[in-house]
Amino acid sequence: MTILRLADGQLVMVAPCEVEVEVGKYPSLGISVQGCEATALQWVRDGTTYSMKPFGDATGVLPFQVTQIEESDPLGEGAVSEIVLVGADGSRLLFRHIMPPMSLGIVVTPRDQAPNNSFKGMPLCGTP
C-alpha cells in the first residue's frame, strides 16, 4: 500500500484489494482508494513497528499536480486494477495490483521519459 499526502494535508491510501465481481467465483484483483488518518503511517504487527517512508523514486515529479486520472482493467478480470495519475507537466504515477496477489506496483514516469509498457501484453507476430 501507499499513502498520498494531498496539497491540503489530507491523506489517501492506495492499496491492492480483492473485488467480488461474480458470486461464486474467485475474487478479481482490484485497487482500493480511500481517505485515511495519520495513524495509517505507522502500525504494529507481531510486536514489530512498521512506518511509511517517502518513496524516493517520486521526488523527481514532486510537487505533483493531478490533471487527469485514468482507471483501467489490464488484467481483464472485471475490476479496476490500475490507476494512473497524470500530472500537469505530463509526468505519470501508475499504481497497479500485481502478482502475487495483494502487491501494489508503483511506476513513476517523469515528463521527459516515455512510459515503460514492457509489462503489458504484446501482440503475437506472424502472417495473417
User: What single DSSP character describes residue 39?
Assistant: G
Query: How much is the pLDDT for 128?
Result: 41
pLDDT at 93: 96
Q: What is the mean pLDDT of residues 63-86?
A: 94
How does 80-90 read in b/e, with b if 16+ C-beta sit within 10 Å? bbbbbbbbeee
Q: What are 65's three cell numbers?
A: 499536480
At residue 125, the pLDDT reads: 46
Is residue 117 very low, low, confident or very high in pLDDT (cuts 50, 70, 90)?
low
- Return d(Cα 57, Cα 47) in angstroms, integer: 29
Whether 61 shows a pLDDT value over 60: the answer reads yes
Give the mean pLDDT of the chain.
88
- Per-position DSSP letters for 53-67, written without gaps between them: ---GGGGGG-S--EE
pLDDT at 124 over 50: no
Q: Which pLDDT belongs to residue 127?
A: 43
Q: How far is CA 3 from CA 15, 65, 69, 74, in A?
A: 9, 16, 17, 23
Residue type at position 19: V
Of the pLDDT bands very low, low, confident and very high (cuts 50, 70, 90), residue 18 is: very high
Does residue 44 carry a pLDDT above 50?
yes
Per-residue pLDDT, 90: 94
